[in-house]
Homo-oligomer: A and B are copies of this chain.
Amino acid sequence: MTQNIYDDDTFFEGYSRLGRSITGLDGAPEWPALQALLPDLHDRRVLDLGCGFGWFCRWARQAGAAHVQGIDVSEKMLARAIATTSDAAIVYDRADMEGLDLSASSFDLVYSSLAFHYVADLDRLMAQVYGALVAGGRLVFSVEHPIFTAPSHPGWSEHESGHRTWPVDGYLDEGPRSTDWLAKGVIKQHRTLATYLNMLIGCGFALVHVEEWGPTAAQIASQPAWADERQRPPFLLVAAERPVHSPA
B152 and A161 contacting across the interface, CB-CB below 8 Å: yes
Q: How far is the CB of A166 from chain B (nearest CB, A)?
A: 5
CA distance A193 to B198 in the complex (A): 14
Closest B residue by C-beta to A165: B167
Q: Are A171 and B207 in contact (CB under 8 A)?
A: no
Chain A residues within 8 Å of chain B by Cβ, number? 41
Q: Quick one: which of A161, A172, A173, A209 has the most chain B CB within 10 A?
A: A172
Stretch of A7-15, A21-29, A42-50, A226-234 at the chain-chain interface:
A226-234
Copies of this polypeptide in the complex: 2
A153 interfacial contact with B, CB 8 Å: yes
Is A100 engaged at the interface, CB distance under 8 Å to the other chain?
A: no
Contact B167 A169 (CB under 8 A): no
Contact B233 A171 (CB under 8 A): yes
Contact residues in B for A153 (Cβ distance below 8 Å) = 159-161, 163, 165
Residues of A within 8 A of B (CB): 147, 150-153, 157, 159-161, 163-173, 192-194, 197-198, 201, 206-212, 214, 230-233, 244-245, 248
